[in-house]
Structure 1
Amino acid sequence: MRFSDRGAAAVEFGLVALVLFTLVFGILQFGFWFWSWQAAGHAAREAARVGAVDPCGTASIQAAGAQALDGVPTGTGATVTATKAAGATVGDEITVNVTFESIDLGFFPFFEASIDKSATSRIENVPAGCAP
């Protein structure tokens, strides 16, 4: 009795394809997440720099953080929040927190796509008329 090799390549591809596609989509998912993670840190630092020279300009702090996230794959809208002590003066610290959901390709049910980064700067200037 003679056995045929017909279909052997399809079976082998079926076995290898599962591992190959899992690896490719895992690399893509990690790449999106890492890009978002790095960009969130950059946005928090940029917003903290703006807050260091104008701690009362909440809108400008949030705008700086949002502008730094332009083009970044955020799954949900990003929130940029600044925290400073009441009555802050030169030398105090301002902390900016950036939070959003990274893109989730949906291939890995255990994947946590939330990004939360913060940056702290020393307040260098308190403009006249500013009551932090």
Structure 2
Amino acid sequence: MRRALPWGGVRRTDEERGAAAVEFALVVPILLILVFGIVNFGQFLSQRQAATQAAAEGARAAAVTPLGGDPTAQGIEAMNAALDGIGGCGGDIDCDVTISTCGDAQCARATVTIDFQPLINAFPDIVFPDISYSATAEVN
């Protein structure tokens, strides 16, 4: 039962003690899952953007390699530099450069594949299943 106070407030009686703690305990897990989901989604978008940028940089670097140079090595080096913030090529990040001829010119195709590992995965393979993103860029 609630009792009115002189200044307009309401004082809770013994029957309602602990209700806020129970409500808090029910809401916090849902709130934490939502917050961690937002953080992980932001991390995924960041890695996706890095993969797209690295593929473009690798293809460009391989396509403009001077005669006598190794375009594949130049492309991989450029992709490593672009992916430096998330660890570079290797591990969960696969980098590949393919060189072909396009008439008199040289064409380069760079592919970056990232196997996304969530920062916080409280429920493996349920909330955040295995995610792989591949970005490809081609320069003629």
Measured against the shorter chain, the TM-score band is 0.7 to 0.9
Higher RCO (Cα < 8 Å, 6 or more apart):
1
Aligned CA RMSD, in angstroms, stands at 2.6
Aligned residue for 1:116?
134
The alignment status of 1:96 with 2:114, answered yes or no, reads: no
Q: SS state of the match for residue 43, structure 1? A: helix
**Structure 2 stretches of 5 or more lacking a match?**
2-12
What is the TM-score with the length of structure 2 in the denominator?
A: 0.73
Aligned equivalents of 1:98, 1:73: Cα separation in 2? 13
**Structure richer in strand, relative to its length:** 2
Distance 1:51 1:35 in 2: 24
Q: Indicate the structure (1 or 2) with the bigger Cα radius of gyration.
A: 2
* Deviation of 1:52 (Å): 1.3
Q: Equivalent pairs: percent with the same residue?
A: 36
For residues 64 and 106 of structure 2, the distance between their equivalents in structure 1, rounded to whole angstroms, comes to: 12
**Offset at 1:14?**
1.4
Q: 2:94 aligns with which of 79, 91, 99?
A: 79
Judge conservation of contact 1:48–1:94 (CA < 8 Å) in 2.
Answer: yes
Superposed displacement of residue 57, structure 1: 2.1
Task: For residue 12 of structure 1, give the secondary structure of its aligned residue in structure 2.
Answer: helix
Aligned residues: 121
- Residues in 1 aligned to 2:91 and 2:39: alpha-carbon distance in whole angstroms: 19
The reply on whether 1:50 has 2:61 as its aligned counterpart is: yes
Moved over 4 A (4+): none
> Which residue number corresponds to residue 70 of structure 1?
84
Structure 1 counterpart of 2:34, one-letter code: L
Q: 1:117 to 1:70 in 2, by over 3 A?
A: same
SS of residue matched to 1:106? coil
5+ residue gaps, structure 1: 123-132
